A and B are shown apart, each in its own frame.
Chain A
Amino acid sequence: MNRERAWAALCGLALGAALPARGAPPPDDPGLDPAEQAALAAALQADAATVEDAVHPAPVVVAAGAGSSNPDISLVLDTAGAWFSDAPAQLGGHDPNRTGFVLQQLEMNVVSNVDPFFRFEANIVFAEFGVEVEEAYATSLALPGNLQLRAGQFLTRFGRLNPTHPHAWDFVDQPLVNGKFFGSEGSRGLGAEVSWLSPLPWYAELAGALTNAHNACCARSFYGGDDLGVEDPRDLLATLTLKQFFDLSRTWGLKVGLSTQLGPNPTGQGNRTDIYGADLYLRYRDPGSRGALSLQVEGMVRSRQAPDDRLQDAGGYAQLVWDIDPEWGVGARYEYVSGVEDDPLDPAWATARQRASAQVTWWPSHFSRLRLQGNHDRLPDRDDPLWGAMLALEVVVGAHGAHGY
């Protein structure tokens, strides 16, 4: 698809008029005959249509000027216009959550090796309500025994989506299950993590972290907004994960993860919350092309000891994303999260909530993307479905680090 059509399709703007129309001679007429022009146009379309050449696994990269000892600093701007058919009920802290315009976030990412032993990384987020140190941590580079240490404030490695930032996500908003179980900002906290790369012949990595169990944004199934202090190691939040990767063939890769999070909740002395999760990422990509197809599925179950009761719920999502060529990608996602009668955290969430989403993405370059997403949301406490539409623009400037698989 050519650039003019891209604008027309996505924005519905009359920009086509400003660009040379097809068939008409461009401003500096190269003097080609119509047959030559038609042949070139057809060839361009054929190239754009091949799954050959293209995908941006995520908007990428370029590091700081050679010879500079400054950290790599980048800024990611996520801004959107949204419409909802009724009062919005988005759960993610960076989701478009009103009809009108939204600053999802302005993220400043700072990365640098500290010395031969540590690497530093920080994500500082500027939002409509202020500034927040979302992550700031040091990672060891050369511990013996295949061990690695991480300390500071970080997103825990529970599941597949949680450890990543909005601009590595394929959809504009956060999955419902992450918002309900972890909080608007996902599962993160101050603490320390030890991970170990096993000597098995395939990739298998174990990680265990201890973080503070309080914070309304990021540990809502645990102490949440109530800081009840730490009298015992069991008053901290423990996260354990096992991640494995299998090269199924030259083109197919499979990553699977098992996660659990165990910690105290504020409903009474010794009351605990357990969350268990499993995730799967199946990706097809021919190394000779840049197109890719990926299936991502994540599910979790939660069990909370409340004063007189044990509350159990579950949720998850499945998404299929097709990166067609360097400029275009599409995706679909389905989510299901069960409810609990008289849930003290979510009193209105008595039965299951389901949401279906579809998105189209256009990348003008590796450093910008425009996404149009539609949501169909079935809420437990509403009779009519909630419809939503978002047009989100993301731009990345500066030396932005690479993303994981």
Chain B
Amino acid sequence: MRALLLALICGALPLAAHARLEVVATLPDLAALAREVGGDAVAVTALVDPNEDPHYVDPKPSLVLPLNRADLLIVNGLELEVGWLPPLQVAARNGNIQTGADGYFDASSVVDRLNVPGGKVDRAQGDIHPGGNPHFVFDPRAAARIATALGDRMARLDPTHAEQYRANAKALHDRLDDLAERERARFAALPAAQRQVVIYHDSLPYLADWLGLTPVAFVEPRPGIPPTPPHVAKVLQRMKKAEARVILQEAFYPKKTSETLARLAGGRVVVLEGGARFGAGDTYSARITRVAEAIHAALSR
């Protein structure tokens, strides 16, 4: 019995010299990028489910375990994870991944930020992020820059595979830039009036910027504040006036209001996937292509 117990405990001990770089990413999109850059030299874990609102993640103690083993933690940054990640980071007892360490990679540090508030940030404006809008994984141009920076960071942490990381990162960067340009051109071929959209939560400025979409209204009156009847009535009026037909939202927001607005304005709702289905082997390129495809199909109907 005692031998069995000992075997169990020893079997569970992490191997002292694990061969692969242990990478933990908060968002499944970032995890998918890390896997493409790292290839078979890294083991990647995503903390957030693709259908989960990354603002509101239950800080389950089980999430401490991958963080405890991690050589590299990839966060989105701009306070997207501030509601749940910091206590997990402390509980992980892992100096490698503390904020500022080499094994802490903040993706927002390498992208061009949008919606950076000027002047004082006041919460009467809703739940806004003082450093800028954090939802840049919707833009493959941002993802391309993240891939390159990740390649450099992995090379620094694991010099034996440095060449492989940098080569993978370069190839991924180029693929994402091509994809971004191809889709941008395809959307640009649509008339500007047809590229008007309504967005549920102000989480898609990067997507709008990439694909040349013009948001005419948000279903939420202010970020994080649920819609009210007078506000929704105004949204409908604006949709009708601008002849915007398409409402974009992420899967974790409620859909009835958007569906009703779409019906009354003679349009449709496009529900965007929250992230790559990382656990099922999905790639970032595949997921972002599906997003662009779904929006293009809705706009051209």
Contacts and interface: CB of A to CB of B under 8 A. Distances in A.
Interface string B262-288: 011000000000000000000000000
Nearest to B89: A141
Contact of A365 (B12, B83, B90, B225): B225
B252 A289 contact: yes
Nearest to B226: A326
A365 B82 contact: no
B129 interface: yes
B82 A142 contact: no
B83 A402 contact: yes
Interface stretch (B54-62, B135-143, B160-168, B187-195): B54-62
A365 B127 CA distance: 8
Nearest to A26: B230
A116 B252 contact: no
A113 B100 CA distance: 10
A30 B93 contact: no
Which interface class (under 10, 10 to 19, 20 to 34, 35 or more) fits A?
35 or more
B216 to A, nearest CB: 14
B87 A44 contact: no
Contacts of A53: 252-254
Contacts of B130: 62, 65-66
A141 B58 contact: no
B96 to A, nearest CB: 8
A148 B68 CA distance: 12
B83 A60 contact: yes
Contacts of B94: 142
Query: What secondary structure prevails in chain B residues at the interface with A?
Result: loop
A169 B144 CA distance: 43
A148 B90 CA distance: 9
Given A40-B260, A202-B62, A203-B65, A116 B101 contact: yes
A20 to B, nearest CB: 6
20 contacts: A30-B233, A32-B236, A37-B233, A39-B264, A53-B254, A60-B56, A60-B83, A65-B130, A116-B95, A116-B101, A117-B95, A140-B93, A142-B96, A197-B64, A202-B62, A245-B60, A287-B58, A289-B252, A326-B226, A401-B87
Interface of B: 9, 12-14, 49, 51-53, 55-62, 64-65, 68, 78-79, 82-87, 90-91, 93-96, 98-101, 121, 123, 126-127, 129-131, 224-230, 232-234, 236-237, 251-257, 259-261, 263-264
Given A142-B96, A405-B58, 7 more contacts: A43-B232, A44-B229, A61-B79, A62-B82, A113-B99, A253-B58, A287-B57
